[in-house]
């Protein structure tokens, strides 16, 4: 299969090459997919994309005109892909339905611990040879209540780590698994009201966009810690900034940002005009932002590469990609495979 992979970072190459084993003719380029760069897909059967690529209707139509038949994203989330446009043009879609939940979970807890003990501020002070303890008082996680929104693999892995720290863990999911233990399942409003720490682990859909909004923030405890390692659009960032400013949110850890497209994964150090909202957030010492790196471990990258190549293998064999299929229902029925595991919240009306 002839393939072009967009938005390839240097650290990805070895993992994709190792997974591919020269089975497919893959062209790796650093350019993001856009209406202009779609021409690089000419003569290709499939394209590989990432979360910040433009996979909108216009781009999909351009790819379809170039006779591209498949789009595989090197991510679990698919909110960047216009699925209706792909269906209309007969392009099959696939994602990476699961990979190293521990990578995301560990980064989530790392953000929480760094915020709780003011590690970023302490490190900055130390670099200036300022070793005073002023403004560095933290808190014990032991005995605190942590609310996990979304109890998929990542949410459960995160809950396990927090429980290991001695936290009481509350959980909310629209359709929790029946075998969940050691997590108290409660309503979302109750979780927001009772939690000292709140961590988001749901996909971005029309039902979860701004699940953390002005009303939700109003229910939270004063000085609450909010962590998001899922998708930026889950939080109304303007409302979160207001809550940081007035002290309602005492600690904010973000590995994702609502307006990160075209910003994250690139160097904007010398830009004359920087994202104003992000600049305001970064200025607060109780806000910690990382550049969508929770997935960035050797183990996770290899799993992502393996699944991506597996998707290409199955398509080449004219088989459905099973759990990785994010096409429409008709596609799945025509090409039966293993049962489809749906993201939490996808089944909402």
Which residues are part of the catalytic machinery?
231, 260, 292
Rounded to a whole number of angstroms, the CA Rg of the chain reads 21
d(CA 257, CA 234): 9
- Phi-psi category of residue 149: left, alpha or beta, with phi > 0 → left and psi -120 to 50 → alpha: beta
Ramachandran assignment for 22, one of left (phi > 0), alpha (psi -120 to 50 degrees), beta (any other): left
Are 176 and 185 within 8 A, CB to CB? yes
Take residue 78 and report the two structure tokens written for it: 């698919």
Residue 200 CA to residue 244 CA, distance in Å, equals 17
For 205, the token pair is: 């859909």
Supply φ then ψ for residue 25, to 5 degrees.
Answer: -90, 95
Sign of CA dihedral 47, 314, 327, 90: positive
Helix-strand-coil split of the chain, %, nearest 5: 35, 15, 50
For residue 129, CA distances in Å to 32, 297, 340 come to 41, 32, 55
């Amino acid at each position: 299969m002839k393939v072009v992979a967009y938005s390839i970072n240097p650290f990805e190459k070895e993992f994709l090459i190792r997974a591919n084993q020269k089975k497919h003719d893959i062209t790796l380029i650093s350019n993001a997919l856009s209406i202009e760069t779609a021409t690089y897909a000419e003569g290709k059967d499939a394209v590989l994309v990432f979360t910040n690529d433009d996979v909108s209707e216009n781009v999909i139509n351009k790819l379809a005109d170039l006779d591209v038949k498949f789009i595989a994203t090197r991510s679990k989330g698919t909110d960047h892909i216009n699925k209706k446009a792909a269906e209309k043009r007969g392009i099959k879609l696939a994602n990476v339905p699961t990979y190293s939940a521990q990578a995301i979970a560990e980064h989530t807890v790392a953000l929480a611990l760094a915020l709780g003990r003011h590690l970023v501020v302490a490190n900055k002070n130390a670099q200036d040879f300022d070793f005073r303890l002023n403004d560095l008082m933290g808190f014990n996680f032991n005995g605190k209540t942590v609310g996990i929104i979304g109890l998929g693999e990542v949410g459960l892995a995160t809950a396990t780590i927090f429980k290991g720290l001695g936290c009481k863990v509350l959980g909310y999911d629209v359709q929790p698994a029946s075998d969940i233990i050691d997590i108290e399942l409660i309503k979302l409003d109750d979780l927001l009201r009772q939690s000292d720490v709140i961590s988001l682990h749901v996909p971005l859909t029309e039902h979860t966009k701004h699940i953390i909004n002005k009303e939700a923030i109003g229910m939270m405890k004063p000085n609450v810690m909010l962590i998001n390692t899922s998708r930026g659009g889950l939080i109304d960032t303007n409302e979160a900034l207001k809550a940081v400013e007035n002290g309602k949110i005492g600690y904010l850890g973000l590995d994702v940002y609502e307006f990160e497209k075209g910003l994250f994964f690139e160097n904007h150090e010398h830009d004359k005009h920087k994202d104003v909202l992000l600049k305001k957030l970064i200025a607060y010492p109780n806000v910690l932002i990382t550049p969508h790196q929770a997935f960035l471990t050797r183990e996770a990258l290899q799993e992502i590469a393996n699944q991506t190549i597996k998707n290409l293998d199955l398509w080449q064999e004219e088989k459905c990609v099973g759990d990785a299929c994010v096409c429409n229902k008709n596609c799945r029925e025509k090409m039966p495979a293993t049962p489809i595991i749906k993201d939490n919240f996808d089944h909402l009306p």
